[in-house]
Amino acid sequence: MKKKTAIIIAIAVVVLVIAAVAVWYFGFYTSGSIGGSAAKQAALADAGLTAAEVTGLKADFENEDGFKYYEVSFVYDAMEYEYAVDALTGQVLHVKSESVFD
């Protein structure tokens, strides 16, 4: 009986920790951000492309020492593009491109 109770308590603690991390991430860590979809649109607009024209389109949220941005990447016409998009304003901060054959 004690073993069963200990297992239930351990499971409850794990669930609470996971819930707390989710609340922190979605409630505080990314709060105020434009969202990954808007960051993708900002990068595509800067490139003059649409989502249908590119492959591998993704946006990753980054928070480096309180500076929040999205790293957006995609491939178009044998070129890989990487954008840094401000997570608060949607402004394109940096663009890097290179051949996929490099």
Distance (Å, whole) CA 92 – CA 86: 6
- Full DSSP string of 34-70: --HHHHHHHHHHHHT--GGG-EEEEEEEEEETTEEEE
* Amino acid present at 78: A
Spans of the chain below 70 pLDDT: 19-31
Look-up: residue for tokens 């595509």? 44
Distance, in Å, from the CA atom of 86 to the CA atom of 38, rounded to the nearest integer, reads 10
pLDDT, residue 89, reads: 93
CATH code of 33-102, in short, is 3.10.450.40
Q: Which amino acid is at 3?
A: K
Q: Strand, coil or helix: what is 26?
A: helix
